[in-house]
């Protein structure tokens, strides 16, 4: 891995997770304020995001945007990624937020780093390196410190714990299944087709074509943000980060997300940082530095 790829991957990963940090808060607000079903929001999010990217790739590439569908292996991998990567991830993400909260869901999602570390070590038939393991443990510690209040553990019901653990597995699947596709095709094409295929399959099962009363102009503004920034931009940048840094190191960058949410809360609501928050920030930043310098 050359230094340029490290820098690009890190910048893309940070940008993606900052956007996800904002998106998690917006999604929680939308689900609670408008009393929406998480499945309904996840389905429409995927359909709209996939359709927008598809139109963009047609304009940019013309008939070249269909090349990925003509390659049998890529098409097979794309369908698997759409169902067991994107669709599975979206379902678990919104349902975990609905059954817990954005902070708790983020902590559970960060456990995907452990899943990826174990999976990649198993397939490579070797133990992970010392620095990479240390970075994972530091990042998880930082996420826990930031996302939980002092003296209080994660507030998890059995249902919340179930969806949280599934979210960790789903996030790992999304990262591991995407890499072969992004290595061959660009990240925007992979996200676009993945979202569109996953959304179509999901809509056949879930049938989301029903009206929700009480959706005002503000809702459509929030929904546009979730689709354009929290989905299209964030997912595309993060896949590029995984392509440049690898699944473990790239996913470690994702642990900046709760730090972003905490800082935004402090700035917007004029709250102060606790010693626990600062310790969490330090753990996450050190883990990112380890990825950049020592791995």
Whether 215 is in a domain gets the answer no
Extract the tokens encoding 168: 């960790």
Whose CA is closest to 238, among 2, 76, 23? 23
Whether 288 is in a domain gets the answer yes
Residue 152: pLDDT band (50, 70, 90) is very low
- DSSP string of the chain? --HHHHHHHHHHHHHHHHHHHHHHHHHHHHHHHTT--HHHHHHHHHHHHHHHHHHHHHHHHGGGGGHHHHSHHHHHHHHHIIIIIIIHHHHHHHHHHHHS-HHHHHHHHHTHHHHHHHHHHHHHTSPPPHHHHHHHHHHHHHHHHHHS-TT------HHHHHHHHHHHHHHHHHHHHHHHHHHHS-HHHHHHHHHHHHHHHHHHHH------TT--HHHHHHHHHHHIIIIIIHHHHHHHHHHHH-HHHHHHHGGGHHHHHHHHHHHHH-----HHHHHHHHHHHHHHHHHHHH-
Whether 216 is in a domain gets the answer no
Residue 226: pLDDT band (50, 70, 90) is very high
Segment 7-34, tens digit of pLDDT: 888 888 888 888 887 887 788 788 878 8
**Which is more confident, 275 or 199?**
199
Residue 95: per-residue pLDDT: 82
Angstrom distance (rounded) from CA 13 to CA 7:
10
- Given a cut of 90, is residue 124 above it in pLDDT? no
Angstrom distance (rounded) from CA 56 to CA 65:
10
Segment 178-197, tens digit of pLDDT: 888 888 888 888 888 999 99
Residue 222: pLDDT band (50, 70, 90) is very high
Angle at CA of residue 122, ends 74 and 94, nearest 5°: 60
Residue 274: per-residue pLDDT: 72
What is the count of structural domains for the chain?
Answer: 1
Name the residue range of residue 280's domain: 3-210+221-294
């Amino acid at each position: 891995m050359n230094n340029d790829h490290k820098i690009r991957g890190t910048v893309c990963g940070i940008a993606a997770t900052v956007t996800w940090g904002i998106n998690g808060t917006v999604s929680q607000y939308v689900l609670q304020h408008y009393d929406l079903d998480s499945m309904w929001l996840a389905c429409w999010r995927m359909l709209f995001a996939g359709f927008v990217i598809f139109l963009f790739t047609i304009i940019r590439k013309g008939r070249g945007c269909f090349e990925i569908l003509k390659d049998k292996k890529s098409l097979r991998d794309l369908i698997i990624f759409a169902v067991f990567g994107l669709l599975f991830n979206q379902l678990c993400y919104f349902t975990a937020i609905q059954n817990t909260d954005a902070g708790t869901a983020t902590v559970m999602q960060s456990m995907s780093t452990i899943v990826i570390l174990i999976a990649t070590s198993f397939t490579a038939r070797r133990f992970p390196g010392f620095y990479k393991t240390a970075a994972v443990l530091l990042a998880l510690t930082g996420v826990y410190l930031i996302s939980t209040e002092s003296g209080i553990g994660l507030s998890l019901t059995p249902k919340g714990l179930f969806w949280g653990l599934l979210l960790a597995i789903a996030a790992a699947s999304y990262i591991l299944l995407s890499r072969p596709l992004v290595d061959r095709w660009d990240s925007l094409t992979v996200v676009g087709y993945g979202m569109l295929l996953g959304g179509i399959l999901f809509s056949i099962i879930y049938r989301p074509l029903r009206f929700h009363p009480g959706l005002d102009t503000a809702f459509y503004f929030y929904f546009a943000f979730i689709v354009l920034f929290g989905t299209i931009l964030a997912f595309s940048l993060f896949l590029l980060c995984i392509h440049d840094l690898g699944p473990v190191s790239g996913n470690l960058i994702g642990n900046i997300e709760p730090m972003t949410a905490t800082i935004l809360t402090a700035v917007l609501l004029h709250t102060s940082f606790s010693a626990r928050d600062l310790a969490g920030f330090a753990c996450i930043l050190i883990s990112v530095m380890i990825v950049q310098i020592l791995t």
